[in-house]
């Protein structure tokens, strides 16, 4: 019997040509897939970069447009502030006719960048004055006292206005508005225009409104100041001075 010669360990069968080509093809396919993946990643990054640059450009254009608008707004605002200042200074120095109604409107209008209507402001004041004149005409008191009491009712009472025997309107007394009464969040909360629009005010706007109507009624009144507060002082027929608290609707002593 012939003996079997053992096969050396670790030896491999020779690789055929077809299997080598397949292995190389697989390697090339893997490499190409990797290259394609890298190319797609680069293309995606480039696309994101272009989109980012476009967003940056749009944002820069937006900011430039806003800055231009701000500059134009600032220039127009400065002109309005300057003209308002010159008018008020002229009133204080006697070079212009003193007009508190005009002064109040100009001040508030400057803050509102010219967005208020003086005709409407004057009309609102005039309508309140006419209510007082109607109340005074119905009173048996002397003329000045009647107007004085009519203005007091305007600030404290509900008034039903009739025309030809029919109810035309109802005027409610102004109320104290406790919301942001210092005007720290919204300075317009202290404006007379705001009081006329909402019927709510505080110790800045309410005394001013009282005096504006009093001036048109021919009632001598004074806008008086106290620490963090303002109120009204008025004279009667004898020249006696009384302090009137517009936020409460009653007369107070000097010690109050």
> Over its length of 256 residues, how does the chain's per-residue pLDDT go in tens digits?
455 545 555 445 555 567 888 888 888 888 888 888 888 889 888 888 888 888 898 888 888 888 887 777 777 788 899 999 999 999 999 999 999 999 999 999 999 999 999 999 999 999 999 999 998 887 766 688 889 899 999 999 998 887 777 887 898 999 999 888 888 888 899 999 999 999 999 999 999 999 999 999 998 899 999 888 999 998 877 888 889 999 988 888 888 7
Distance CA 223, CA 208 (A): 7
**CB 159, CB 140: distance < 8 Å:** no
Residue-level pLDDT at 33: 87
Residue-level pLDDT at 245: 93
Q: Count the alpha carbons within 13 Å of 239 in the hemisphere toward its beta carbon.
A: 0
| CA nearest neighbour of 113 among 86, 87, 74 | 74
* DSSP helix/strand/coil, 221: strand
**CB 233, CB 244: distance < 8 Å:** yes
- Model confidence, pTM: 0.68
Residue-level pLDDT at 240: 85
């Amino acid at each position: 019997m012939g003996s079997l010669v053992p096969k050396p360990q670790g030896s491999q069968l020779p690789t055929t040509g077809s299997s080598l080509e397949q292995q190389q093809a697989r390697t090339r396919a893997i490499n190409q897939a990797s290259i394609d993946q890298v190319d797609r990643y680069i293309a995606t990054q480039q696309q994101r970069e272009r989109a980012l640059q476009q967003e940056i450009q749009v944002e820069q254009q937006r900011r430039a447009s806003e800055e231009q608008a701000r500059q134009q707004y600032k220039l127009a605002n400065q002109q309005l502030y300057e003209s308002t200042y010159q008018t008020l200074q002229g009133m204080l120095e006697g070079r212009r006719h003193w007009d508190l109604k005009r002064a109040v409107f100009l001040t508030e209008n400057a803050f509102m960048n010219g967005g208020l209507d003086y005709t409407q402001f004057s009309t609102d004041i005039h309508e309140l004055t006419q209510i007082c004149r109607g109340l005074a005409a119905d009173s048996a008191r002397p003329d000045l006292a009647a107007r004085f009491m009519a203005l007091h009712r305007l600030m404290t009472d509900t008034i039903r206005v009739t025309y030809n025997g029919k109810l035309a309107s109802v005027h409610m007394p102004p109320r104290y508005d406790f919301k942001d009464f210092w005007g720290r969040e919204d300075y317009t909360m202290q404006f007379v225009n705001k009081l006329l629009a909402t019927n709510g005010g505080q110790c800045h706007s309410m005394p001013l409104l009282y005096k504006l109507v009093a001036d048109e009624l021919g009632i001598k009144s004074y806008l008086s100041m106290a620490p963090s507060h303002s109120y009204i002082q008025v004279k009667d027929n004898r020249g006696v001075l009384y302090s009137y608290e517009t936020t409460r609707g009653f007369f107070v002593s000097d010690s109050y």
